[in-house]
Amino acid sequence: MTFNSNSPSWGYHILAIITIFVWGTTFASTKVLLNHNLTPAEIMCYRFGIAYVLSWFFSRKILAQSFADEFFLAIAGFMGGTIYFLAENTALQYTITSNVALIVCSTPVLTALLAIICIKSERITARLTAGSLIALAGMALVVLNGKILKFNPIGDTLAFIAALSWAVYSVVLRRFDGRYSMWFVTRKIFFYGLITMMPVILLDGEPLHLESFSHTQVSLNILFLGIIASMLCFYSWNLVLEKLGTIRASNYLYSQPVVSLVCSVAILHEPLTIIAVVGTVFILFGIYVAQNGLRPWRKK
C-alpha cells in the first residue's frame, strides 16, 4: 500500500495501524522457525536477504548523494536491524517474556526524548505527554496481566538496548525526509543490516539450517517475514515516520501488545482477563489523546 504526498493524513495513520498489526503477529512466525532450530541471527538474515533482493525492483539507485548520508544509512541498518533483533532475541534467553515486552514497548518514550533533542521540527506538549503515559500504563497492564516482574540485569539491559536502538533508528531516518525515495532508504537499511549481521553469523559458528526449508511451514513463515513483515512493513513504517513525524508515528507502537493479545485469544484460545481489557482501553485512549498532542515549532 502506497500513499503519495497528496494523500490525507488519516491514510498514514491507517498505514501505521496496519504495519503494527502485521508486526504484532510476527512472534508466532518466529517461534515456528526457532522450533525448527533456526537461530535468531539466521532468521534475521533470511528476512533481510529476501527483502533486500525484492527491494531492487523498486529502487536501482546504488549510493546516497554524500558520504555522510551513506554513513547514517549504515547506522540505521545497524541499529534498526542487527542491534535491535539481536538484543531483543538474546534478552528472551535471560529473562521472562513479560519483562522484554514491557521494556521494549517503552520505545515511544525513548523516541520522543531523542526526537526532542535531535529534531527541531518536533516538540512535545502536555497532551502528548498525557496520552503517552496513559498508553504506557495500559501497555503495562496488557503485558503483565497480573504477573509479577522478575528482574534480571542482563536480560532487562538487553531489552532496554533493543528499545533504544529502535528509537535511534527512528530518529536517524528523519535525516532523509524528502531527499531520497523511501524504497531506496529501505533497501539500504536491509543491506547494512545484512552486512553488520554477517560477523555475528560467522562468530556464532552455527551451521545454516538450509535443510529446514524442505518443511512447507518453515518456507511459508520465512516468506511472510521477508516479504510482508520486512520489505513491505519496513517501507510502510519508514513512510509513516516521514509523513507523521517520529513522535506521533512511534506512539502507535504502544498498540503492539493489543495485537498480540487479540491473536492469543483468537488463535491460541487463551482466556481474556479484565485486566487485559482495561489495559487495551487505556492504550487506545492514550494513543487517541497523544495523536492530537504534537505540533511543530512555528517561527514567530
pLDDT in tens, 184-201: 999 999 999 999 999 988
Measure CA 101 to chain center: 12
295 pairs with which residues across the strands?
123
Q: What is the pLDDT of residue 113?
A: 83
For the stretch 19-57, pLDDT in tens is: 998 988 887 788 788 888 888 889 999 999 999 999 999
Q: What is the spatial distance between Cα 206 and Cα 9, in angstroms, rounded to a whole number?
A: 46
- Comparing 75-79, 116-120, 213-217, 234-238, the range with the smallest average pLDDT is 116-120
In the numeric block, the cell 532523509 is attached to 176
294 pairs with which residues across the strands?
124
Handedness of CA 89, 227, 193, 38 (dihedral sign): positive
**Burial class for 298, CB neighbours closer than 10 Å (0-12, 13-18, 19+):** exposed
In the numeric block, the cell 552486512 is attached to 195
Q: What is the spatial distance between Cα 179 and Cα 28, in angstroms, rounded to a whole number?
A: 36
Query: Roughly how many angstroms between the first and final C-alpha of the chain, as a whole number?
Result: 38
Handedness of CA 196, 205, 88, 37 (dihedral sign): positive
Is pLDDT at 76 greater than 90 in this prediction? Answer: yes
- Give the rounded percent of residues in the chain with a pLDDT score beyond 90: 38
Is pLDDT at 7 greater than 60 in this prediction? Answer: no
Question: 98 pLDDT band (50/70/90 cuts)?
Answer: low
Q: What is the spatial distance between Cα 129 and Cα 231, in angstroms, rounded to a whole number?
A: 32
Measure CA 71 to chain center: 21
For the stretch 205-255, pLDDT in tens is: 777 888 888 899 999 999 999 999 999 999 999 999 988 888 888 888 888
pTM for the model stands at: 0.83
Q: What is the pLDDT of residue 296?
A: 43
Compute the mean pLDDT over every residue in the chain, rounded to the nearest whole number. Answer: 84
Cell numbers standing for residue 157: 539491559
